[in-house]
Amino acid sequence: MSDQNVCTAGFTSSGISRGSLASSMMSREAKASGGGVSSGGPTSTLQGMGAKCSTHSSGFTSSGISGGSRASEMMSKEARSHGGGTPRGGTTATVQSI
């Protein structure tokens, strides 16, 4: 994942851009969770990365998730909480896809 892709999706240092993929994602996540966006969820994770412009250093790359990285820790934690697999549409899958 490149820093440019995160910014293009609407996750920026000044917040989520109106009318962007990011705002759509935030809206869907809020509706699914009863009105809020959870800390550590896809939207907040991507916004944190967009604000810092630090996607590659987190371990999400175009070649996959880097071993021993923050991304691999996220993936392991998510897999454990879902019985061994990372769910489609979950934080790890969403961040890696962008």
pLDDT tens-place string over residues 21-71: 889 888 988 888 888 888 877 788 888 877 776 555 677 777 888 888 878
Number of domains observed in the structure of the chain: 1
Output the pTM of the full model. 0.59
Q: How far apart are CA 59 and CA 81, in angstroms?
A: 20
Asked whether the beta carbons of 38 and 31 are under 8 A apart, the reply is no
> 6 is in which domain, residue-wise?
2-96
Q: How far apart are CA 6 and CA 74, in angstroms?
A: 18
